[in-house]
Amino acid sequence: MTTFKKVIEWKYQTNSKMAKKQKIKYISECSEAEGPKEKKTGGLRRKLKECQKERREYLTQTQKAVADLINYRKRQELASEEWRKYGQRELLENLLPVIDALSAGAGKDAGLKKIKEQLEKVLIRNGLKEIAALGEKFNPEFHEAVDMAEAKEASWTIIAEIQKGYLLHNKVLRPSKVRVAK
């Protein structure tokens, strides 16, 4: 197969003040079978298809990267929200014995009663609430049975609360220790 060279002249204006026309010569190698015109357009079409394929690949990669970033942000927001809600869990667990002591002493001293009420208001605002127990049906998710006794109430009804239980944002922080009816 023989090849031949064709000189292509291209005219354009430069941005210089003189704005003179210049000729640029391109030399293109063509095969005889294709001819110069077919070689030029076929090469451009092939190059166009390659560029379009590359563009699609980049677009796909970019879309995946954006989706990953959005998912990462959502996970971080959820983790941050969980931390805000339950990050104080250890502190509140350590405060529960103090609350129990204040409850025991509040019946004897009006000052302790006032302090206990103020502390309870603060804890309620932070998502802590007591688990209802007395007179309720025993629920192992919220109650811990420490004793069973004969009583007039129906079987598995809570007849006494030994230690209060608490929920933190509707999750058990400490189960209620209770006595249930046989």
pLDDT tens track for 110-139: 888 888 889 889 888 888 899 988 888 999
Q: Where are the beta strands (DSSP E) in the chain?
A: 3-13, 21-31, 128-130, 143-149, 158-163, 166-168, 171-174, 176-181
For residue range 28-59, what is the model confidence (pLDDT) as tens digits?
444 445 455 556 677 888 899 999 999 999 99
Domains of the chain: 3-86 (no CATH), 89-181 (2.30.22.10)
pLDDT band with cut points at 50, 70 and 90 for residue 25: very low
pLDDT band with cut points at 50, 70 and 90 for residue 22: very low
Taken as a whole, the chain contains a residue count of: 182
Measured CA distances, 42 to 38, 55, 179 (Å): 6, 20, 89
154 compared with 16, residue with greater pLDDT: 154
The pLDDT score that the predictor gives to residue 41 is: 77
Residues 74 and 180: their CA atoms lie apart, in Å, by 45
The pLDDT score that the predictor gives to residue 53 is: 95
pLDDT above 80 for 166:
yes
Contact (CB, 8 A) for 176 and 153: no
pTM for the model stands at 0.55
In terms of DSSP H, where are the helices of 87-182?
89-106, 110-125
Contact (CB, 8 A) for 127 and 92: no
Q: Parallel, antiparallel, or unpaired for β 176-181 and 128-130?
A: unpaired
Measuring CA to CA, which residue among 95, 96, 104 is closest to residue 131?
Answer: 96
Alpha-carbon dihedral sign for residues 6, 11, 12, 18: positive
For residue range 73-102, what is the model confidence (pLDDT) as tens digits?
999 999 998 888 778 888 888 888 888 888
Residues 58 and 38: their CA atoms lie apart, in Å, by 30
